[in-house]
Structure 1
Amino acid sequence: MSLFTRSAAAALLPGFVFLASCSSSGNKLALPGKGGEPVTEAHADEARRISADPRGFLLDVERRAAALEQYTVQFTRTERRGLLRTLEGPERIACWYRRSPLSIRMQWLDEEVKYGESAYSAKAAPDRIRYIPRRGLLGLPPSVSEVSLQTPVTWGESRYPMTDFGLARMMARTRESMDTAGPDLKLEYRGLTKIPETGRDVHHFHALFPHPRFPNPYLDIYVDRETGLPAGSVVRRADETLDAAYFYTDLRTGVSLRDEDFLIAADRARVTALGAPPAR
């Protein structure tokens, strides 16, 4: 099954750190370096403003993300899932997102990964997703299937329904967790660092949630300095081992997406060939 999950946060280590995970993709996860001291006078002023109210800065990030009507983005996902909480990934996923009517399509980019594509359209089927694996059983061609939004969660293939995907949802879930932690939350701004894959400057925020109320107490959040939008997050467990990491690169907000952009390839081909809606 093809499903996405969302839990957010980001831990920073000195320099660039490469973590080998129990991944079927064959990739290795590159985490940003640890945020350093301001290196320019301009950033010193910026850092002082952000440090004075890091929660307020993150609320502004959430508002900007929530205002986005549509975008495409490459999503890199690494997370523990399943009954054994095995670390899976990193998986590189091309994503198409539209806020209203809520529509999401994901296409896994790594040939080694079993997932192919998944798609959700609130307009077509508000409680269903369509998906296709990369390969079929016994050498047969893969076929399209349709299941409930909750099925991947029930099977332990995702932490949250596919409808929880998106930059705004990432920030909203983070805010909700911070609200729950209340005065026990420790949040600090750690300055600028870079996303290894792109070299883009990001603001780094580190949060410590009260344990054991929060079994994964360490959260780091990255915000793109140029766009002011979420760039990634990493969650760590109480022993500081990785629980999840999510990064967003090649974000394009100036796109104009149509209903057809939220059909998986097999359904688009059917529409083109028959001039008919995808079979349900």
Structure 2
Amino acid sequence: MTAPHVRLEGVSRGFGDGDGRTQALEAVSLAVARQEVVVLLGPSGCGKTTLLRLVAGLIAPDAGRVTVDGRPPEPGREAAMVFQSFRLIPWKTARENIAFALPRLPRAEALARADRYLALVGLSRFAKRWPAQLSGGMRQRLALARALAAEPQILLMDEPFASLDAQSRELMQVELMRLMAERPATVLFVTHSVDEALMLADRIVLMSPRPGRIVEEIAVPFPRPRWEHDARALPDYVRLRRHLWERLRDMVLNDPASDFHGRR
């Protein structure tokens, strides 16, 4: 069998000291295959973003081990992150925002690559626009192009479409699937949306309330490419959606730390 691209073994991580310490993750083990799309689904505060930061090498675990291709991860080496907030530089054009994220390339090569990825996300006509002149969906496409332009082996996505309206969000999901078909990468994608998880994932990892643990893994059976048919009409989609929503709801209602604890 091929070795996992990303592996977490018994990983725990907390923040703070003494009585104020918060345990974000506890004893998490996960193996992600190369070019697999894994969606992390769970209640707010269950450590999903912390898991992404560990894989990116931005923080280290308190216990356990994180490896990428068998080595500890190094920031900026193999992984790129896409955030919920676009994090674009307001005084740089769309083209310059992408080129700025490629400091190791000669200037001409960085600009040429920026042009290539602007074309890939359908923003070539807006290369000279400032971020403030772009719609929310366009800014998210620009943030995605900036991450892809680094040509990472691993794409870490932290609720990247959460701030978009419902229509733009669905369109961006299709856009992401098309981009991943053209330029495959290993993807770890954080969401609170059951529908988004079912649409995008090869595998869904369901996490418990804090401290986050993996409570279930589900292989998503829908064939790809998924933009060519509406999986929401399939019996398996209805079944899996109901199952995941009921598990999430029960975890939140039974969590003493939740604002919804005990409600029915």
TM-score by length of 2: 0.24
Richer in helix (by share): 2
Richer in strand (by share): 1
TM-score by length of 1: 0.24
